[in-house]
Chain A
């Protein structure tokens, strides 16, 4: 007989066993310590990365970094064209990717028949695209440029194309989530007043989803801003001594400039790389913070 008959046995049962709580056994304390250690590894690395980068680059984080052009002498060099190049490329990327991404998401979430095989195929495809290495998108961009016969691949629009295609799946996925979070009742309310589906989407659903879309888009753009690999293939690691001034202009960007300087042997260039890293991380930090603020402020206000 394995199961006891409780009536007899438990009248004398002691709740205060005198032993330590089962929540505090050596195993579970060790387990919790391991969990803490996991977080510690991540945070300590973040701190070490920030501290070492600042320690190396703080001296060169000055006005010259913003105003000077690259030079073969580190003490005279700056990242002006790279900063402007990043602005041009990211601006163009945003113009390309945001409308397309939002439009695709609206179609899939609001209008498409989700059971149709073709739409399921599109969904699967987007999921796959988001897992493809970024450098492949660079190859796609040079392939496309070669296809339309553009000989000079180092142009702003080429870089923007690569980055836009790279972040498109991210924007589509986050926009769909934002749209999905808009309560059905809101839509039904509008439809019940005689609005068409397109009007409802345009005037009710999309505006309510703007905070979510904005958060996702900012995060996607900040990813594009920090991305270097696809642009390498577009020959963006070049010595640029002018301000980029148009979609067909030659360009380099901050991450590429950092990469270029880390590969240089002189220590002076490493300082420059660190200084530019601080600047880049600073910008990304602001963008991330903005995204978090938007998310927290507008989270489920309905």
Chain B
């Protein structure tokens, strides 16, 4: 059995470590400008005739965690879903503007959305393991994408290890994933994503349905994975953004006076410390200090 740093660290995670790590996060050198893996320019997203977000320009830095925060209906999940073309699966959804992955237009001609989703993985709000065994959940991605894997057993083990789940499940790999707790299921979903070897992981409120202990473990895991992956996380929880994110983007919704439609827009995007300590925009400050949302 390979015991990597990550798994031991994860199993030892305690509250005190969280605070230490939060402090570490502050000391981490974050360049003024992100080295962009993903870059949005003037992105608008429509569902039918309804405009969900307007004019978003953002860059997601290599091996950084970027948090998207803001009140409900501000379009943060919509933007997240346009970063790996999950919106393609929604009837009538349309994305304009440019989304670039290592400089290549993600919506350009000849780009296979399935290849996009393989490279840019996604973890959802509610854990959604397949009704299969733990092993088959992990092996699913490599199998459907036709990855060449020397030994699937090793591959599964490593993915689970990286997601800090191996020690808990190594004796019951053939059992149904539904037997796991909510937090374990969510880490299984992260492991499942890691198994197809993406370099970006998108997380859509991954802790929204978890209890505080499970949430803490996922947060620990995210900061460990940061060295390997570029992570974008949508969260309702401002403390969570403050704890884990290197950079934070604050969104809000503008209400159209005539139609009542709420269209999301980006208010401010900066290093997390700056956003929380010294926001440039009054709306950000109002949100951070709890005056609305």
Contacts and interface: CB of A to CB of B under 8 A. Distances in A.
A23 interface: yes
A6 B119 CA distance: 10
A16 B104 contact: yes
Interface string A3-31: 11111011111111111111100000000
A10 to B, nearest CB: 4
B280 interface: no
Contact of B63 (A2, A7, A17, A23): A7
Contacts of A7: 62-63, 199, 228
B104 A14 contact: yes
Contacts, number: 65
Contact of B111 (A4, A5, A10, A15): A15
Nearest to A1: B158
A171 to B, nearest CB: 34
A14 B104 CA distance: 8
B162 A3 contact: yes
Contacts of B158: 1-3
B115 A17 contact: yes
A3 B155 CA distance: 6
Nearest to A12: B102
Contact of B102 (A4, A10, A23): A10
A128 to B, nearest CB: 28
A10 B200 CA distance: 10
B101 interface: yes
* Chain A CB within 10 A, most for which of B101, B112, B162, B229: B112
Contacts of B113: 21, 23
Q: How large is the interface on A (under 10, 10 to 19, 20 to 34, 35 or more residues)?
A: 20 to 34
Given A2-B150, A2-B151, A10 B114 contact: no
A35 B109 CA distance: 28
B116 interface: yes
B1 interface: no
B207 interface: no
A1 B229 CA distance: 17
Contact of B198 (A6, A15, A18): A6
Main secondary structure of the interface of B (DSSP, over half): loop
Given A7-B62, A10-B102, A16 B150 contact: no
B53 interface: no
B59 interface: no
Contacts of A20: 112
B69 interface: no
B290 interface: no
A15 B101 contact: yes
Contacts of B151: 2
Contacts of A14: 104
* Chain B CB within 10 A, most for which of A3, A6, A15, A22: A15
B106 interface: yes
Interface string B193-228: 011011100000000000000000000000000001
A17 B112 contact: yes
B149 interface: yes
A153 B167 CA distance: 74
Contacts of A13: 102, 119, 199
A2 B110 contact: no
Contact of B228 (A2, A5, A18): A5
Contacts of A5: 228
A120 B151 CA distance: 50
Contacts of B119: 10, 13, 15
A19 B114 CA distance: 12
B255 to A, nearest CB: 28
A23 B199 contact: no
Interface string B148-159: 011100110011
B233 to A, nearest CB: 18
Nearest to A6: B199
Contacts of B229: 6
B131 interface: no
A249 B159 CA distance: 77
B112 A3 contact: no
B293 interface: no
List the 7 closest A-B pairs by CB distance, nearest first.
A6-B199, A16-B110, A22-B114, A21-B112, A2-B155, A10-B199, A3-B158
Given A7-B62, A15-B101, A15-B106, 4 more contacts: A2-B149, A3-B159, A9-B199, A15-B104
10 contacts: A2-B151, A2-B154, A3-B194, A6-B198, A15-B101, A15-B104, A15-B112, A16-B111, A21-B113, A22-B114
